[in-house]
Amino acid sequence: MSDDDHKSIFMKWIGEHGSSVLKVARAYSLTSEECQDLSQEILLQAWRSLPRYQGKASPATWFYRVALHTAMNWKRNDHPRRTRQQPLLIEQTLITETADGAEQAQQRETVEQLYAAIHQLPKTEAALVLLYLENLSYSEISEVLGISENHVGVKLNRARKSLFALMNGGTDES
């Protein structure tokens, strides 16, 4: 693949899948600065990995796979520093524009609690929840994570129960 082809494909895929990079980075980082750093790391890894892309998976699946693997490695390697920081996670796109100030504040608090709970999940469960929140099908999730669709359902059910318990002070009332 020529350098121009490489750059052209990469820029096209960033345009199509760049939002997934930011969402993965946000799910695996605690501050906006970390989110930006991790996003750059994911893009760098995607750039380096593009020549090895064989077309066995869709570009969206490949991009998610690179993003998740990079984020999981980054999280593992960067854990000691991150444990000394407090999370600052507010997902503006989930806050409805029609809600009044009190409703928006409540929605922000719920989203912050959700991301705090996601950060407490094991890394594979956090990745699974992230893909689910991206509205990927079980088939797409299984392809990204390399597990069967049935296993996706089982693991997702467990992750939901864990999130519910984490968000409700450890009580599991499913």
Domain annotation for the chain: domains and CATH numbers: 1-88 (1.10.1740.10)
102 pLDDT higher than 80: no
Residue 28: phi and psi, rounded to 5, are -110, 10
E strand or H helix at 165: helix 149-167
Give the per-residue pLDDT at 80. Answer: 54
Question: Rounded CA gap, 38 and 119, in Å?
Answer: 15
95 pLDDT higher than 50: no
Work out the percent of the chain whose per-residue pLDDT is above 90: 6
Chain Cα centroid distance, residue 101: 28
120 pLDDT higher than 90: no
Give the per-residue pLDDT at 45. Answer: 93
Question: Rounded CA gap, 97 and 110, in Å?
Answer: 16
67 pLDDT higher than 50: yes
**Residue for token pair 């689910």:** 132
The token pair at 155 is: 């693991």
163 pLDDT higher than 70: yes
